[in-house]
Amino acid sequence: MDKQLIFKSKYLNKLKGEVQSGLLIDHYKSNLFIYDKTQTLMLPNIITAADLADQLDVNDDCKTAILLYEAFKNLEPIQASDERLWTYLTHVDLYSYMIRRWDAVYNSSSKDEAKYIFEHWFLQSSSQSSLLRHALAGLWWAVSLSVEENKGPEKYDLTKILFRQLDFPTRTLGTYKLGRHKEAVIGILEFIKENDDLFTTNFEDKTRYITKHLNIIGGVKPISYYKRDFFKAELKKITLSIQAL
């Protein structure tokens, strides 16, 4: 079994420079991204996910996220936040998925092609919000934050709630400091699951509201101290406000 490859840092910077200058943009309109195969390193403890690109579903982010997470389950946090890995995956192993899921440059419909490529193919920085917004890293981390390994076949039930609307993991919950505390994420998702009738309408507005509300509580209380029941209890107190949205 082949070991997973990543780009060398210098090559990654070269790619960025050439996208910035416009030199490389036409490469993203091709069915195969041409890259310098000598500019890679091996991750010795991670096995490459053969045929993963063919299994990913451009119409189902949750399914894709779970498949991606399963394929790279053994990533350590320091590897899962490594720009060299995610950029290699977007450009090589999962390129065929990328041009189907984020196709604006591929089909020449993007107004700012360099910006579009940077937003989807590269990590903008190594911060939490950048990781969660990345086309692949964001999916992996969203599953990592919501999976409950001890729940057997139901272990992805909360992940499925998180992915009801892509902005919830990638723009709302995931980008707040709150999103770094798994107990908070689980607490919020369990509250949604247990009060499903509350969230049948205006899911996006409501999830934004509850995330903001808990973030305000985090301004005066040390969020990381609390378990999931604390967050559920806090949300229960504002049930009427959620209902009114």
Partner 1 sequence: MKFTEISFPHPVLGVLDAIDSKISLFPEPEIKSNVDFYHITIFFNHDNNDLLELIKIGSAEYFCDVTCSNTLYRKIFTSKDGRMEFEIAKKAVRGRVEFTCLILTTVDIDYTNTNSHVDYYSYIFKLDQGDVLAYFGEFDFDADIVYEKLKAVTSFMEVVENENLTFPYIDLKKSKIEIQLPSQSFKIYCNDLISQEIKYSPIFHSSFVLNALLIALYNFDSHRDFLWARVIEYRLKNDFDLLALSIQEVENIPEIAQKLLGNPFNRLLEGLLQISESTIENE
- Supply the minimum distance, in Å, between the C-beta of residue 37 and partner 1: 19
C-beta closer to partner 1: residue 117 or 132: 132
C-beta closer to partner 1: residue 111 or 237: 237
Binding site for partner 1 (CB under 8 A): 9-10, 13, 76-81, 126-128, 131, 141, 144-145, 177, 179-181, 218-222, 224-226, 230
| CB-based contact 110:100 (threshold 8 Å) | no
C-beta closer to partner 1: residue 181 or 232: 181
In the block, residue with structure tokens 């779970």: 66
- Supply the minimum distance, in Å, between the C-beta of residue 114 and partner 1: 17
C-beta closer to partner 1: residue 3 or 177: 177
- Supply the minimum distance, in Å, between the C-beta of residue 193 and partner 1: 22
- Supply the minimum distance, in Å, between the C-beta of residue 44 and partner 1: 13
**What amino acid is encoded at 217 in this protein?**
I
- Supply the minimum distance, in Å, between the C-beta of residue 161 and partner 1: 19
C-beta closer to partner 1: residue 92 or 223: 223
- Supply the minimum distance, in Å, between the C-beta of residue 11 and partner 1: 12
Query: How far is the C-alpha of 114 from the C-alpha of 80, rounded, in Å?
Result: 25
C-beta closer to partner 1: residue 27 or 218: 218
